[in-house]
C-alpha cells in the first residue's frame, strides 16, 4: 500500500495516513488494518472524524534532523498500535524506555520547533538539540485525569544523535520526556470525556449514591493497551477513582480486581447484555455487593453513545455468572439519588416573595406563590435556595442580612433567622444558599471583616463554619452544591478577578459532631477571567457565565474537571445575573437577566422570556 507524504502549512513533513472504513467507536472494532476504503493524507492537527483511523509513517532513509523531529511529533497524533512507528524515530535505548502514557500535555496548537538546517560544513556533526515550544492549557495524567492550566509557556528539548542503522548512520532522538505532546484539535479528535462512577464514602444513613469521576480516554482503540473505548472505560473503573476524588468515594469492587487476562474488547450481545469477565479477586463477592459493582459499570457505560447496554452480567474467573443487573434495577443507585429529579423552578418576584414555576409534568407552567411565609410573608426576600425534596426553602432577605428556612408546602409563621451577616455593605452580606444531596444547607457570609462558609445540617441545624484552607486570601462570592454532596462550585474573588473553582468536601467524625472542610480547590475555567454566575448541570458538568480576557459575556458548559469543548458555547443572552440548570440535562436552562427578566433555553431552541420581572432563579438544590 502506498503512502502520500506532503508538507503542511508550516513546511513540516506530514507522515500520516488516514484509513477510512474502520469505525473507531463501534463495539466490534477493527482488529487489523482495513483492506478496503480510500487512502488519503491528512493534516494531523485538523479536527478528525471518528471514523478515520490515522497511522504514522516511519522515517525515510537518510531523514534530516528536522524530518525526524517533525515525524516524531506527527506520529504522536496517530493510532499507531503500541506507538511502534513512533518509537522508530528514537534510538533503540530511548525506544525501550519511553513511556507514552505517562502524561499527555495539551497545547493550544501543535508544538513549534526551532529550525535546525545543517550546513555543508556541519556534515560531521553527530548531535543536535531542538527546543519545542507552545502554550500549554492542560495535562492528562497516568490516571487519565484532566487538569486545566491557565495558558502557560511550554518548552521541552529533544536531543538527536546519529545511530547505526541498516543503511548506515541515521539521525534518531536519544533524549525525550515521557508522555505525549498534542495540540487541542488533535486531543479532541483522539480523546473523549467519560464519567466513571463510584459510591460516596462515609454515609451512615445507608443512602450512598453514585458519584461521577470524569476521565479522558482514547475515543478509539488505545495504542498502548489495544482496548476499545468500552473496555478502556471498564478497565479505568476497576483501577479506582482519580486521586482528587479518591478520599471521598469508594468502589464496591474488591481491591485489585481487574478484567480477566487477555480481554481487550467488550461488546453487548444482541439482547444488549454486556458480559464482563473478571479475575479471581471478585470470585467470592455476595449478591448485594455484586449488584453495586454492576451498577458502577452500567452507569459508566451509559454515557457512551456507542454502547447501548441494558444489562450488565459480571462473570467469575471461570466464566460463570456472578450477577446480572438491569438498567431499571440500577435506579436505586442513581447518581442523583432518584430516578427522576425535580423539574420545577423557583424565583423571587418583584415583591420579594418566592414563586414556583411548575415543571412540565406538574402543571401549566404559570408561576404561583409557594405556601408559607416565603410566599406570602411580609419580609422581602432577595435570594432563594430550595431543598431537593421541595419541602423546605432557604431565603435571604433582600438586604442580604438574614437567612430564613421555612416550609414551602404548608402555612406557618416566619421563623427566626438562622444566620445573620454583620457587614455594613449590602453587597458583602449573605450569598444565595444551596442544598446538597444529603439535605444540608450551605451559605457564604461575604463580610470582608469576617468571611465565612457555613453549613446547616438538615437545613435547620446550628450553623457550622467550614474550613477552606486553599482560599489563599480569596473570598467566596457564590456557591452551588453538587447533587452527590461531595463537590462544591465556588466563585472566588481575588486580585480583582472572580474565577470558578471546584472543591472536594471532606467529612470527619460522627454525624452529630462532624468536622467538614472544603479542600484541594481546582480552577475549573481558567480561560474565563471574570465569572459572574454558574450552576451544576447534570452529574459532572456546570453551566458558567463569564468573559475571557478582553471578550464579551458568554454562557458555556464546563466539565467538573475543568475541560471544555468547542461545542460547549451556548447561544448568547444579555446581562445574565444568575443561571440555573437541573440534574436532568433535558430540562431547560434558565437565567435571570437585568434586561429580559427570566428566560429559558430548551434543547434545540432559542432563549425565550418566561417572566418579565424576577430574580434569583433556581432549580431545587
Long-range contact pairs involving 467-473 (C-beta distance under 8 Å, separation at least 24):
467/516, 467/517, 467/518, 468/503, 468/517, 468/518, 468/519, 468/521, 469/517, 469/519, 470/503, 470/518, 470/519, 470/520, 470/521, 471/521
Round to whole Å and give the CA distance between 499 and 477.
10
The pLDDT of residue 362 is 38
Q: What is the mean pLDDT of residues 375-404?
A: 95
pLDDT digits (tens, 9 = 90+) for 263-298: 999 999 999 999 999 999 999 999 999 999 999 999
Cα–Cα dist 571/579, whole Å: 14
Residues 569-596: tens digit of each pLDDT: 888 888 899 999 988 878 899 999 988 8
Q: How do residues 320-344 score in pLDDT, each as one tens digit? A: 999 999 989 988 888 764 445 678 8
Q: Where are the domains of the chain?
A: 6-190, 252-333, 345-618
Percent of the chain with pLDDT over 70: 88
Note the pLDDT tens digit of each residue in 176-215.
999 999 999 999 999 999 999 999 987 655 567 899 999 9
* Cα 471 to Cα 43: distance, rounded to the nearest angstrom: 43
Is residue 427's pLDDT more than 60?
A: yes
What cell does 347 get? 424565583
Positive or negative, the CA dihedral 288, 291, 293, 299 is: negative
The answer for residues whose C-beta is within 8 angstroms of residue 371's C-beta and 6 or more apart is: 407, 408, 409, 410, 411
- Angle (CA) 255 259 262, round 5°: 140
Contact 466, 516 (CB under 8 A): yes
Q: Please check whether residue 316 is in contact with residue 245, taking contact to mean a CB–CB distance below 8 angstroms.
A: no
Rounded mean pLDDT of 357-369?
Answer: 70
Separation of alpha carbons 63 and 496, rounded Å: 52
In angstroms, what CA-CA distances link 34 with 14, 24, 31, 53? 21, 12, 9, 10
pLDDT at 52: 67
Any idea what the Cα angle at residue 169 is, between residues 163 and 171, rounded to 5°?
A: 60
- Note the pLDDT of residue 33: 37
Residue of 433, 373, 371, 434 lying closest to 408 (CA atoms) = 371
Give the rounded percent of residues in the chain with a pLDDT score beyond 90.
68
pLDDT of 363 reads: 37
Q: Which one, of 305, 310, 335, 318, lies nearest residue 482 by Cα?
A: 335
d(CA 45, CA 183): 7
Question: Cell numbers of 153, please?
Answer: 509557556
202 or 445, higher pLDDT: 445
Mean pLDDT of 234-248: 97
What pLDDT sits at residue 538? 86
The predicted pLDDT at position 7 comes to 39
CA atoms within 13 A on the CB side of 317: 10
Whole-number pLDDT of residue 37: 40
**For 417-442, what is the mean pLDDT?**
95
Q: How far is CA 302 from the centre of its chain?
A: 15
The answer to whether 444 and 452 are in contact (CB under 8 A) is yes
Q: What is the pLDDT of residue 211?
A: 94
| pLDDT tops 90 at residue 104 | yes
Rounded Cα–Cα distance for residues 197 and 210 (Å): 6
- pLDDT: is 172 or 15 the higher one? 172
**pLDDT tens by residue, 10-42:** 334 445 555 544 333 332 333 333 333 443 344
Q: How confident is the model at residue 39, as a pLDDT?
A: 38
Query: Mind listing the pLDDT tens digit for each residue in 34-56?
Result: 333 443 344 344 333 345 677 88
Architecture of domain 345-618: 6 Propeller (2.120)
**Host H or E run for residue 315:** strand 311-315
Using the predicted structure, report yes or no on whether residue 255 has a pLDDT greater than 50. yes
Question: In b/e form, how buried is each residue of 329-352, taking b as 16+ CB within 10 angstroms?
Answer: ebeebbbbbbeebbbbbbbbbeeb
Which of 298, 197, 289, 184 lies closest to 242, judged by CA?
A: 197
Contacts of 509 (CB under 8 A, 6+ apart): 515
Average pLDDT on 60-78 reads 95
Least confident of 56-60, 452-456, 569-573: 569-573
* pLDDT tens string 461-505: 899 999 999 998 899 999 999 988 899 999 999 988 999 999 999
| Mean of pLDDT values over 106-118 | 90
- Band the pLDDT of 1: cuts 50, 70, 90: very low
pLDDT grade, residue 548 (50/70/90)?
confident
Q: What is the pLDDT of residue 15?
A: 52
Q: Mean pLDDT lowest for which of 48-62, 310-324, 519-533, 543-557? A: 48-62
DSSP state of 11: S
Q: Do residues 334 and 267 touch, judged by C-beta distance below 8 A? A: no
User: If phi over 0 gives left and psi between -120 and 50 gives alpha, with beta otherwise, what is residue 558?
Assistant: beta
Q: If you write DSSP's letter for every residue of 243-266 in order, what string do you get?
A: TTTGGGEE-SSPTT--BPTT----
Edge to edge, what strands does the sheet with 16-20 contain?
39-40, 16-20, 52-56
Number of Cβ within a 10 Å radius of residue 322: 23
Q: Which residues contact 385 (CB under 8 A, 6 or more apart)?
A: 393, 394, 395, 432, 433, 434, 435, 441, 443, 618, 621
> For residue 569, what is the DSSP state?
B
Cell numbers for 139: 495535562
Torsion region of 512: left, alpha or beta (phi above 0 gives left; psi -120 to 50 gives alpha)? alpha
How far apart CA 25 and CA 50 sit, in angstroms, is 7
Separation CA 191–CA 369 (nearest Å):
47
* Better-predicted residue by pLDDT, 365 or 173: 173
pLDDT of residue 205: 54
In the numeric block, the cell 415583591 is attached to 351
pLDDT at residue 488 in the model: 97
Task: For strands 576-580 and 589-593, give the pairing.
Answer: antiparallel
Looking at per-residue pLDDT, the higher value among 7 and 508 belongs to: 508
Find the helix or strand (DSSP H, E) in which 171 lies: strand 168-175
Give the bridge partners for 384, in sequence order: 395
CA gap 233, 193 in Å, rounded: 10
Query: What pLDDT is stored for residue 571 in this prediction?
Result: 87
CA distances from 269 to 196, 277, 508 (A): 22, 14, 44
Q: d(Cα 510, Cα 321) in Å, to the nearest integer?
A: 39
Amino acid at each position: 500500500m502506498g503512502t502520500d507524504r506532503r508538507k503542511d502549512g508550516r513546511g513540516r513533513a506530514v507522515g500520516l495516513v488516514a484509513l477510512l472504513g474502520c469505525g473507531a467507536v463501534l463495539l466490534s472494532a477493527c482488529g487489523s488494518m482495513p483492506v478496503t476504503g480510500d487512502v488519503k493524507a491528512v493534516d494531523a492537527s485538523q479536527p478528525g472524524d471518528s471514523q478515520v483511523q490515522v497511522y504514522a509513517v516511519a522515517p525515510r532513509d537518510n531523514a534530516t534532523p528536522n524530518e525526524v523531529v517533525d515525524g516524531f511529533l506527527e506520529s504522536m497524533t496517530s493510532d499507531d498500535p503500541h506507538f511502534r512507528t513512533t518509537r522508530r524515530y528514537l534510538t533503540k535505548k530511548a525506544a525501550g524506555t519511553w513511556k507514552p502514557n505517562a502524561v499527555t500535555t495539551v497545547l493550544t496548537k501543535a508544538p513549534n520547533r526551532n529550525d535546525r538546517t545543517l550546513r555543508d560544513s556541519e556534515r560531521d556533526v553527530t548531535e543536535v538539540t531542538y527546543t519545542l515550544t507552545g502554550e500549554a492549557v492542560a495535562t492528562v495524567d497516568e490516571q487519565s485525569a484532566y487538569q486545566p492550566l491557565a495558558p502557560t509557556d511550554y518548552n521541552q528539548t529533544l536531543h538527536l544523535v546519529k545511530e547505526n542503522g541498516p543503511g548506515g548512520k541515521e539521525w534518531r532522538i536519544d533524549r525525550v520526556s515521557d508522555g505525549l505532546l498534542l495540540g487541542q484539535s488533535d486531543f479532541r479528535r483522539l480523546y473523549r470525556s467519560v464519567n466513571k462512577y463510584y459510591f460516596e464514602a462515609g454515609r451512615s444513613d445507608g443512602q450512598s449514591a453514585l458519584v461521577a469521576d470524569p476521565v479522558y480516554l482514547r475515543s478509539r482503540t488505545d495504542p498502548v493497551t489495544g482496548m476499545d473505548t468500552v473496555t478502556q472505560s471498564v478497565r479505568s473503573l476497576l483501577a479506582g477513582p482519580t486521586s482528587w476524588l479518591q478520599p471521598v468515594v469508594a468502589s464496591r469492587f474488591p481491591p485489585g480486581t481487574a478484567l480477566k487476562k487477555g480481554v481487550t474488547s467488550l461488546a453487548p450481545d444482541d439482547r444488549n447484555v454486556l458480559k464482563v469477565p473478571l479475575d479471581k479477586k471478585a470470585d467470592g463477592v455476595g449478591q448485594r455487593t455484586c449488584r453495586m459493582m454492576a451498577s458502577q459499570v452500567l452507569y459508566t457505560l451509559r454515557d457512551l453513545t456507542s454502547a447501548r447496554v441494558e444489562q450488565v452480567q459480571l462473570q467469575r474467573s471461570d466464566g460463570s455468572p456472578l450477577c446480572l443487573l438491569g438498567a431499571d434495577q440500577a435506579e436505586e443507585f442513581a447518581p442523583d439519588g432518584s430516578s427522576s429529579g425535580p423539574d420545577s423552578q423557583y424565583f423571587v418576584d418583584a415583591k420579594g416573595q418566592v414563586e414556583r414555576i411548575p415543571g412540565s409534568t406538574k402543571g401549566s407552567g404559570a408561576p404561583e406563590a409557594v405556601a408559607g411565609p416565603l410566599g406570602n410573608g411580609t419580609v422581602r426576600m432577595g435570594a432563594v435556595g430550595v431543598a431537593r425534596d421541595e419541602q423546605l426553602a432557604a431565603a435571604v432577605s433582600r438586604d442580604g442580612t438574614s437567612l430564613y428556612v421555612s416550609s414551602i408546602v404548608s402555612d406557618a409563621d416566619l421563623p427566626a433567622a438562622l444566620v445573620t451577616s454583620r457587614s455594613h455593605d449590602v453587597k458583602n452580606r449573605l450569598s444565595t444558599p444551596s442544598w446538597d444531596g444529603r439535605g444540608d444547607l450551605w451559605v457564604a457570609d461575604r463580610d470582608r471583616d469576617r468571611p465565612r462558609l457555613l453549613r446547616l445540617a438538615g437545613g435547620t441545624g446550628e450553623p457550622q463554619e467550614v474550613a477552606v484552607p486553599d482560599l489563599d486570601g480569596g473570598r467566596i462570592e457564590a456557591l452551588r452544591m453538587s447533587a452527590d454532596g461531595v463537590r462544591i462550585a465556588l466563585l472566588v474573588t481575588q486580585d480583582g478577578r472572580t474565577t470558578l473553582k471546584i472543591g472536594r468536601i471532606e467529612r470527619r467524625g460522627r454525624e452529630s459532631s462532624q468536622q467538614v472542610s472544603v479542600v484541594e480547590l481546582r480552577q475549573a475555567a481558567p480561560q474565563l477571567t471574570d465569572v459572574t454566575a454558574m450552576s451544576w448541570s447534570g452529574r459532572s458538568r456546570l453551566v458558567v457565565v463569564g468573559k475571557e480576557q478582553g471578550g464579551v459575556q458568554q454562557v458555556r458548559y464546563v466539565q467538573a474537571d475543568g475541560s471544555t469543548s468547542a461545542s460547549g458555547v451556548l447561544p448568547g443572552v444579555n446581562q445574565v445575573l444568575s443561571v440555573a440548570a437541573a440534574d436532568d440535562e433535558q430540562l431547560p436552562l434558565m437565567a435571570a437577566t437585568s434586561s429580559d427578566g427570566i428566560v429559558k433555553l430548551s434543547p434545540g431552541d432559542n432563549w425565550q422570556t418566561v417572566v418579565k420581572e424576577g430574580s434569583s432563579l433556581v432549580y431545587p438544590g
